[in-house]
Amino acid sequence: MIKKSYNKNLHKLNTFGMKVSASLYIEYDSAEDLTAIQWDKLPQPVLNMGEGSNLLFTKDFPGTVLHSGIKGMDVVEQMSSGDDLFVRVGAGVIMDDFCDWAARKEVWGPENLSAIPGTVGAAPVQNIGAYGVEAADIIDSVECFEIATGKIVSLSAEECEFAYRDSFFKHNRGRFIVTHVTFHLHGDFRPVLEYGKLKEEVERNAEIYKADADPYKPIYQTRFVPPMPVSPMLVRETVKIIRENKLPSPSKKGSAGSFFKNPVVDAAVFRAVEDTAAGLKGETVAVPHYDLPDGSVKIPAAWLIEFCGFKGKTCGGAAVWEKQPLVIVNDTGRATPRDILALERTIIEKIKDTFGIELSPEVDHI
């Protein structure tokens, strides 16, 4: 079913809480609905939007916003071993609901992506990632509606051209609309715990998780019991707690999650960052980093932002989140796009002047 709204107020439909509108807003709940749309008569451009959790509207949108209501989580194949599952999920399904479903099935794959705001349809576009796992690691294929031909096409994971917070879809905006994503989940034991202190937190929570009762009860509602084995649900609950402690809830403080990408630099640039930090502090500074297989180095953008003194800083109604400097928030609830953009620009310029590194936003600017 298709539902149209003109001059739609998007204030509550984007997690930043920007007070903007769209010329036309269309809700649909099946791939077949998309074939009934008269695409050449729509206000342009066309934007397919999930929960509006990874974008910043910089002004009123002159075109058409589409919103998917395609639901369903169906096992389309189970390996002969009875372990691995291939699950076809509708683009309108909330990503965290899928993570919960998989954890309850006790299959591995999306648990590290728990509590990331947004829909399944947005996962391959942005190649969402957290705590050492990306959507690309578990996506088998993506079904899309091709606007020009009116046909449903299926792209393999390889054809999606996944990269760090990037994909084929980001470079072909306005061409495809994701309708379903098929994930490859694993029944054998394969937790990914190497990122940051995740392993330490999982092991700590294994000590307090109530093994002899409801295995799906949140950790904070349990009492101390003997250790239990690491499970997808245990990892999921741990990730949720970490995120809740660091990141603001969009329902309480508008944001789009991590605002900047973590910069990847060569080894020489990283050494220069260490030297600069030491020179400014007057002592040796341990710069957090991740050595990549190709010899390059990933530096946490949050560390660069905090080092340059932006943690908690404000600009109009916008602010750098006090608990996680990678996040810019609509601090007052009345921040304008201009406030957000001004704070973004100030951060980028300061870090470039200090370290010679230019941060790139992870959030899409519309």
Whole-angstrom Cα distance, residue 217 to residue 59? 42
Contact (Cβ atoms closer than 8 angstroms) between residue 133 and residue 115: no
Any catalytic annotation for residue 32?
no
3-state secondary structure string across 198-228: HHHHHHHHHHHCCCCCCCCCCHHHCCCCCCC
Q: Is 143 designated active site?
A: no
DSSP 259-314: -BPPPEE-HHHHHHHHHHHHHHHTS------EE-TTS-EE--HHHHHHHTT-TT-E
Of residues 68, 237, 258, 344, which has the active-site annotation? 258
Beta strand pairing call for 21-28 and 3-9: antiparallel
Which of 53, 114, 165, 231 does the annotation list as catalytic? Answer: 165
Torsion, Cα 274 278 280 283, to 10 degrees, reads 160
Q: Name the catalytic one among 143, 237, 344, 362.
A: 362
Query: Annotated catalytic, 200?
Result: no
| Listed residue (183, 167, 165) closest to 175, CA to CA | 167
Amino acid at 227: P
8 Å CB contact between 299 and 263: yes
Q: Among 129, 124, 69, which Cα is nearest to 257's?
A: 129
Q: Radius of gyration over alpha carbons of the chain, in Å?
A: 21
The residues annotated with a catalytic role in the active site are: 165, 258, 362
